[in-house]
Amino acid sequence: MRKIPVFTAALALVIAGTAACGSSSSPSSGKGGQAGSAAAFDPKTCQGGTLEVLNQASISKLDPARIYTSGGGNIPSLLFRTLTTRNRLPGQEGAKPAPDLATDLGTPSDGAKTWTYHLKDNLFFEDGTPITSDDVKYGIERSFAPELSGGAPYLRDWLVDASGYQGPYKQPEGIKAIETPDPKTIIFHLSKPEGDFPLLATATQFAPVPKAKDTGVDYEKHPVSSGPYMVATFEKKKTLDLVRNPHWSAATDPLRYACPDKINITAGLESAVINQRIATGSGQDANAVTTDTTVGPDQLAQLGSNPDLAKRVSKGEFPATTYLAFNPKVKPFDDIRVREAISYAVNRSTAVNAAGGTAVAGASTTFLPPQKALGYQPYDYFPAGATGNPAKAKELLAQAGYPNGLSITLDHEADDADNLGPKLATAIQDALKAAGITVTLKPSDDSGYRDVTGKPSTEPGLSLQYWGADWPSGGPFLIPIFDGRQIIDSGGNFNLAQLNDPAVNAEIDAINQITDPAQAQARWGALDAKLGQQALTVPLFYEKDVYLFGKNIKNAVPDGWRGQYDLARISVK
C-alpha cells in the first residue's frame, strides 16, 4: 500500500499488464456474450491449440522476485504458483484470495501478527523436484536482494527486522522472521497486525525458487516453473513462448484450467495495432488476446453497430480512481471553502468523456471505487450533479474572499496515455471557467511528473492524479493517500494532502488488526466517508476496463480481482 502506484508498476511488470481490472459491482460487468458461454464451458475438454497474446509492454523482467503484480499477474501466474492466489471468479466474489500452493488462506495468531501456512502434497517444479517450504522462503529472500529489486515493498515493512536485509547472496543466513519448521510448513512473523496478509501472499515474490537452480540476475532467462506452463523460448522485450509443464498437475490446482497447449506472447506492439488485429482476427489473430491493451476509441465506437465485435468484449473493473489532488499547504487551497468550491464546480460528464466515455470510466464522488471488497460507501458532500454547480461554487468563493473569481494552476501529464493529460486537464479548465476560476495548465513529462508531485517541497497546489489498489481492499487504497506516517519528504510521496491526523492514523492501525474482511470493509468505507468531508481530493471517475478477444477465444471471463480475462482459463479450441 505504499510508494508505488499500480500503473507505474504496470510499466515494470513483465507483461502482466496490471492496468486492468478488478471487482465489479456495476451491472455492466459479468454481462455480455462471455457470461453465457461460461456456463457451458467445461475445463476438462478445453485442451489444445495455441493462444496468441499481443501486448504493448515489453517483456523486460521475468524473475518472480522482480515482477510487481496485483494478484500474481496474468502471464506470471501461468509460470509461478504462490501461497495464495486470486480465486479467478467474476464479479464481487472474485475480489477474494484462494489457496494455491497452500492448503488454506493461512492461520493468523497473535492478533494477526503471525501467519502460518501448510503446503499441499504432490507439488513439483518443472524438473520434477518437489516444492518445499524452504523454496518459498528462498524466493522471498531473493526479492530483498538489491540486484533483484522491482517487487512490491510491503514485505520489507511488514516482516520483523527485515528492512535492512540484503538478500541471500550477501546474507545467506536468511530472514529470521520466516520460519520453516518442516518442508510443508512456513510461518511469517510480522512487526504489526496485518489482516490483509493472505492478499499480499498472491504476489509472485511468494513463488517457490529452487536454490540449486538460482543464477541470480540470469535466473529470469529461464525461471523454474511451478505452474501449468514453462518457458520454451524467451527473447527479452520481444517474445515469450510457453509450453506445458509436464510436472504440473490439475489435481493440485483447480483454479488454472490450462487449456491451450502453447501460449505465444508478442510484446512491443502499438495499442491501435493490437486492437485492430484482434478486431479483424485474420489467421492466427483469431486466437489472439491481450493482457495490457484496453479497447481503443475506434473499436469502442464500432461496438454499437458491429454485433460480431460487441460479442467479443470483456468488461471488468480494476479498482482505481482518477482525482484532483489538493496540496492544502499551498494558497489558496489552505482554505477549505476554495477546495469545496472546486468540488462543486467540476463537470464529471466532460471529465468522463475525456477518458473515453461511460463505457470506460464511471463518474464517482467517493475516493474508494464502488466495489464492495474495498468497503465502498456512497457519499456526495459537495453535489456537483452531472455537469457541475458553478453558482454554489461562486457563492463559496465569495465567502472565501474571492468575489471576482480566482486564478489557479493545474499540473498534469504532457500526454494522455494515463488519462492524466491535456484532455482531462482542458475538461477541468473549461468546467471551472463557469465558476469564475481561471485555470492555467502546466504539463510535465510523464516521467518527471511523479518527481514533481511526489516531493512535498515541490508539490503543486492542484494536480491530476490516479490511484489503483495493489489488491482489492480498502487498506492499499487509503493508507498511502491519507496515513500521516506515509508522508515521504525525499520523493515518492502519495499523501499529497500531507494529512497527518492522529485520529486517522489510529483508525488505520485498528482496521489492520481485523482479519474478517467484512468487518474491515465497513470500517474502511466509514473512514473514506469521514475523510471525504475535508475535501482533500476531488474524485472524478473510477476505471472500467474493456478488452477485446479473438474470434476463436472461449471463456474470456473477467475476474473480479483485476477486471480482466484470465489466460489460465481461456480456451482456443
**Total binding residues toward another protein, as defined by CB under 8 A:** 34
| Position 91, amino acid | G
First to last CA, the chain: 40
Write the interaction track for another protein spanning residues 3-22; mark x where CB under 8 A is met and - where it is not. Answer: --------------------
405: contact with another protein by CB under 8 A: no
Residue with cell string 465567502: 399
Which region among 60-68, 245-253, 349-357, 547-555 touches another protein (by CB under 8 A)? 349-357
Count of positions (residues) in the chain: 573
As a whole number of angstroms, the distance between CA 285 and CA 277 comes to 6
298: contact with another protein by CB under 8 A: yes
280: contact with another protein by CB under 8 A: no
DSSP state of 234: E
> Residue 400 pairs with which residues in a beta bridge?
none
Do 396 and 432 touch, CB atoms closer than 8 A?
Answer: no
Supply the minimum distance, in Å, between the C-beta of residue 267 and another protein.
22
| Position 336, amino acid | I
153: contact with another protein by CB under 8 A: no
Span 361-390, contacts to another protein by CB under 8 A: 386-387
DSSP state of 185: E
As a whole number of angstroms, the distance between CA 379 and CA 366 comes to 6
272: contact with another protein by CB under 8 A: yes
Question: Which of 140, 425, 469, 536 contacts another protein by CB under 8 A?
Answer: 425
296: contact with another protein by CB under 8 A: yes
Question: Which of 443, 456, 491, 492 contacts another protein by CB under 8 A?
Answer: 443
353: contact with another protein by CB under 8 A: yes
437: contact with another protein by CB under 8 A: no
Supply the minimum distance, in Å, between the C-beta of residue 297 and another protein.
6
Residues in Cβ contact with 449 at an 8 Å cutoff, skipping those fewer than 6 apart: 411, 412, 413, 414, 420
Closer by beta carbon to another protein, 350 or else 365:
350
Which region among 69-77, 148-156, 157-165, 292-300 touches another protein (by CB under 8 A)? 292-300
496: contact with another protein by CB under 8 A: no
Closer by beta carbon to another protein, 223 or else 296:
296
Supply the minimum distance, in Å, between the C-beta of residue 275 and another protein.
11
As a whole number of angstroms, the distance between CA 568 and CA 74 comes to 8
As a whole number of angstroms, the distance between CA 153 and CA 272 comes to 34
Please calculate the CA angle 363-364-365 and round it to the nearest 5 degrees.
135
Q: Is the peptide bond before 332 cis (omega within 30 degrees of 0)?
A: yes
Please calculate the CA angle 120-126-131 and round it to the nearest 5 degrees.
30
Supply the minimum distance, in Å, between the C-beta of residue 357 and another protein.
4
Closer by beta carbon to another protein, 79 or else 428:
428
Closer by beta carbon to another protein, 282 or else 305:
305
As a whole number of angstroms, the distance between CA 120 and CA 104 comes to 9
As a whole number of angstroms, the distance between CA 189 and CA 390 comes to 53
As a whole number of angstroms, the distance between CA 29 and CA 361 comes to 13
Please calculate the CA angle 62-65-68 and round it to the nearest 5 degrees.
75
Supply the minimum distance, in Å, between the C-beta of residue 543 and another protein.
15
Closer by beta carbon to another protein, 10 or else 361:
361
Which region among 170-178, 282-290, 346-354, 485-493 touches another protein (by CB under 8 A)? 346-354
Do 497 and 325 touch, CB atoms closer than 8 A?
Answer: yes
Question: Which of 58, 358, 399, 498 contacts another protein by CB under 8 A?
Answer: 358
Within a 13 Å sphere around the CA of 513, how many CA atoms are in the beta-carbon half?
6
Which region among 157-165, 170-178, 427-435, 532-540 touches another protein (by CB under 8 A)? 427-435
Which region among 130-138, 231-239, 438-446, 523-531 touches another protein (by CB under 8 A)? 438-446
Residues of the shown chain interacting with another protein in the complex, contacts defined by CB under 8 A: 272, 296-298, 300-304, 347, 349-350, 352-354, 356-359, 386-387, 414-415, 422-423, 425-427, 429-431, 441-443
